[in-house]
């Protein structure tokens, strides 16, 4: 009596949660150090001067605007909020404080008026995600989807990590192919609006990102959202590799006016004795960001 051969052994799919994937691409070195080594570094910006403010620093102004933005999202209005902010000590005294508050309030309210065009109609039900992609199982939930598309917004200038976060969600939205759901996504920041139309090869691109994630769990990858974006975008705009690398290195090292991305404590601990802007950096930057650059339709906000 003959016996059929047993089916070949198949390893179970590698399960990845959507939130984990997004946190990884925001800072791969930080993610692997936190998750694999259980090490958490102090990322504090240091103690601010205890001087009386007259002109707010960039960080202080950012915090003021975030407080105003959070208030209007919660209460729907900034009416009668000035005394609260003034009492908190966030504003200069007298007329300078009143002017600064008025400018910040006007900016927040204009931003929210722009958002109304994207949030018309009811918000759609969240989509539960459970996708099998090339040996991976990706699970999570897609939220904030309107008729105009999946929406992400932040009252700050758009950063490369914002693009990556939206891009991952956008690819998943396209992969689900859910009936009566849009295939487009929007990323709205203080400085620009980005439209991401439907992507035909969303599964292939997402599988590539999952593979990068899996490799990045074994060792710190030479991928840095800020510097990698500068490099890939420069190439996409027609600059040669030398000029693109020069721009990326400036982003990595910083200058007299801004901190370099390489000063991030997690990047520093992984790469303090090497130059990580090498061939691996170039390849990963293009692999991850080139599809985003090619897809997005970007418009500056007034």
DSSP secondary structure of 260-300: -GGGSHHHHHHHTTS---SHHHHHHHHHHHHHHHHH-EEEE
pTM of the model: 0.85
DSSP 149-190: EEEEE-SS---HHHHHHHHHHHHHHHHH--TT--S-EEEE-S
> In the listed set 151, 181, 211, which residue is the last one of a domain according to the structure?
211
Verify that 130 and 34 share a domain, yes or no: yes
> In the listed set 68, 98, 116, which residue is the last one of a domain according to the structure?
116
- For 56, the enclosing helix (H) or strand (E) is none
Verify that 198 and 227 share a domain, yes or no: no
pLDDT of residue 46: 37
Pairing between β-strand 192-196 and β-strand 14-17 as defined by DSSP bridges = unpaired
C-alpha 191/C-alpha 56 separation (Å) is 20
pLDDT of residue 114: 86
pLDDT of residue 3: 52
Verify that 19 and 127 share a domain, yes or no: yes
Residue 3 lies in a domain: no
Verify that 83 and 131 share a domain, yes or no: no
Verify that 63 and 171 share a domain, yes or no: no
Nearest to 281 by CA among 241, 221, 240: 221
Domains contained in the chain, number: 3
pLDDT of residue 55: 47
Q: Which long-range contacts (CB under 8 A, 24 or more apart) does 127-132 make?
A: 127/173, 127/176, 127/178, 127/181, 129/18, 129/172, 129/176, 131/172, 131/175, 131/176, 132/13
Q: What are the residues facing 300 on neighbouring strands? A: 192
Q: What are the residues facing 132 on neighbouring strands? A: 137
Range of the domain at 126: 14-39+121-211
Full pLDDT tens readout for the chain, 302 residues: 445 554 454 567 799 999 999 999 999 999 999 999 999 997 754 333 333 333 456 778 778 888 888 887 777 778 788 888 888 888 888 888 888 888 888 888 888 888 888 888 889 999 999 999 999 999 999 999 999 999 999 989 999 999 999 999 999 999 999 999 999 999 999 999 999 999 999 999 999 999 999 999 999 999 999 999 999 999 999 999 999 999 999 999 999 888 999 999 999 999 999 999 999 999 999 999 999 999 999 998 86
Verify that 226 and 94 share a domain, yes or no: no
Tokens for 265? 């404590």
C-alpha 189/C-alpha 187 separation (Å) is 7
pLDDT of residue 109: 87
pLDDT of residue 22: 97
Residue 21 lies in a domain: yes
Verify that 85 and 233 share a domain, yes or no: no
Residue 6 lies in a domain: no
Verify that 129 and 261 share a domain, yes or no: no
Residue 52 lies in a domain: no
Verify that 96 and 202 share a domain, yes or no: no
Tokens for 277? 């802007």
């Amino acid at each position: 009596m003959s016996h059929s051969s047993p089916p070949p052994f198949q390893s179970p799919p590698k399960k990845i949660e959507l939130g984990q994937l997004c946190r990884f691409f925001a800072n791969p070195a930080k993610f692997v150090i936190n998750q694999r080594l259980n090490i958490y570094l102090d990322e504090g910006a240091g103690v601010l001067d205890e001087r009386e403010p007259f002109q707010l620093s960039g960080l202080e102004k950012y915090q003021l605007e975030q407080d105003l933005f959070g208030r209007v999202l919660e209460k729907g209005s900034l009416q009668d909020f000035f005394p609260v902010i003034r009492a908190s000590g966030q504003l200069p005294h007298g007329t300078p404080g009143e002017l600064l508050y008025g400018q910040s309030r006007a900016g927040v309210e204009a931003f929210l008026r722009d958002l109304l065009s994207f949030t018309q109609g009811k918000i759609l039900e969240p989509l539960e995600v459970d996708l099998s992609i090339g040996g991976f199982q990706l699970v999570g939930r897609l939220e904030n989807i309107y008729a105009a598309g999946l929406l992400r917004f932040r009252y700050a200038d758009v950063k490369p990590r914002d693009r990556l976060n939206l891009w991952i969600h956008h690819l998943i939205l396209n992969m689900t192919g859910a009936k009566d759901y849009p295939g487009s996504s929007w990323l709205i920041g203080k400085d620009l609006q980005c439209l991401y139309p439907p992507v035909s090869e969303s599964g292939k691109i997402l599988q590539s990102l999952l593979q990068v994630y899996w490799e990045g769990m074994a060792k710190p990858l030479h991928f840095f959202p800020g510097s990698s974006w500068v490099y890939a975008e420069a190439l996409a705009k027609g600059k040669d590799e030398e000029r693109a690398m020069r721009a990326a290195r400036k982003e990595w090292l910083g200058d007299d006016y801004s901190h370099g991305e390489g000063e991030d404590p997690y990047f520093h601990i992984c790469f303090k004795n090497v130059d990580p802007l090498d061939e691996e950096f170039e390849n990963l930057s293009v692999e991850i960001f080139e599809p985003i650059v090619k897809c997005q339709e970007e418009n500056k906000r007034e």
